[in-house]
């Protein structure tokens, strides 16, 4: 009888321990899932708070606002076409160098094309503190150097000011049309500089034939 009672007590003790251990494991699992979900939600909210979303749920904006590749928006601003902002798909932006489609803010309609250059963001600076180099190495118009390498009308290699090359930027579709209509069909000439950005060494022709 004593042996039987002892076995009962041992069995009850084992069952109690199993229940306690099982309860702890269930609690830890539930807590871990809750923490993971909360972390994921917070991360998603943080990402979406950085950029607005279009009607298709795609985030859009400038790559300059992202602190890492993971934080880049789905559609990355890469210039304008006739006053309409153009965007690159993230997959194209991070892809191999070459020409890729330029979309409107809804990510569906192609409004032009954009050349993806090598991802070189470390442009050197001249003695005046201005960056210089090839625009093909920029990841977006915003990251182009202040002095862009160019070949003058007489074959001289030099640099043009980015702001001179871009010209007047329209603020609306109507203004874009007005600027386009006011431009000479033959294009325009801008100064070609030495690397210092001050010494004029030639002329660079923009637009026209």
The pTM of the whole model exceeds 0.95: no
For 74-187, where are the E strands, in sequence order? 75-81, 84-89, 98-103, 110-116, 132-133, 147-151, 157-161
Cα–Cα distance for residue pair 147/160, rounded to 1 Å: 5
* Backbone angle region of 207, left / alpha / beta, with phi > 0 → left and psi within -120 to 50 → alpha: left
Query: For residues 138 and 113, which has the higher predicted lDDT (pLDDT)?
Result: 113
- What is the residue extent of each domain of the chain? 1-50, 52-116, 120-209
Q: Of the candidates 164, 144, 146, 163, which has an alpha carbon nearest to the alpha carbon of residue 204?
A: 164
User: Which helix (H) or strand (E) covers residue 201, if one does?
Assistant: strand 200-206
Query: For residues 209 and 205, which has the higher predicted lDDT (pLDDT)?
Result: 205
* 33-43 pLDDT tens trace: 444 444 444 44
What pLDDT, on the 0 to 100 scale, is given for residue 79?
80
What pLDDT, on the 0 to 100 scale, is given for residue 135?
82
Helices (H) and strands (E) in the chain, counts: 4, 10
């Amino acid at each position: 009888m004593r042996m039987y009672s002892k076995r009962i007590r041992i069995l009850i003790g084992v069952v109690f321990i199993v229940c306690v251990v099982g309860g702890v494991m269930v609690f830890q699992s539930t807590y871990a899932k809750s923490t993971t979900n909360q972390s994921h939600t917070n991360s998603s909210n943080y990402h979406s708070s950085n950029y607005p979303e279009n009607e298709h749920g795609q985030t859009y904006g400038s790559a300059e606002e992202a602190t890492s590749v993971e934080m880049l928006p789905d559609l990355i601003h890469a210039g304008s076409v006739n006053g309409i902002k153009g965007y690159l798909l993230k997959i194209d932006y991070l892809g191999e160098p070459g020409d890729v489609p330029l979309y409107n803010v809804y990510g569906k309609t192609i409004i032009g094309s954009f050349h993806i250059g090598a991802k070189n963001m470390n442009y050197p600076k001249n003695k005046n503190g201005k960056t210089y180099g090839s625009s093909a190495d920029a990841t977006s118009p915003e990251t182009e150097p202040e002095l862009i390498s160019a070949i003058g009308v007489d074959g001289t290699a030099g640099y043009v000011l980015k702001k001179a090359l871009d010209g007047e930027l329209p603020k609306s579709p109507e203004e874009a049309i007005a600027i386009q209509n006011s431009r000479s069909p033959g294009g325009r000439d801008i100064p070609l500089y030495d690397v210092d950005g001050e010494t004029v060494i030639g002329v660079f022709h923009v637009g026209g034939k």
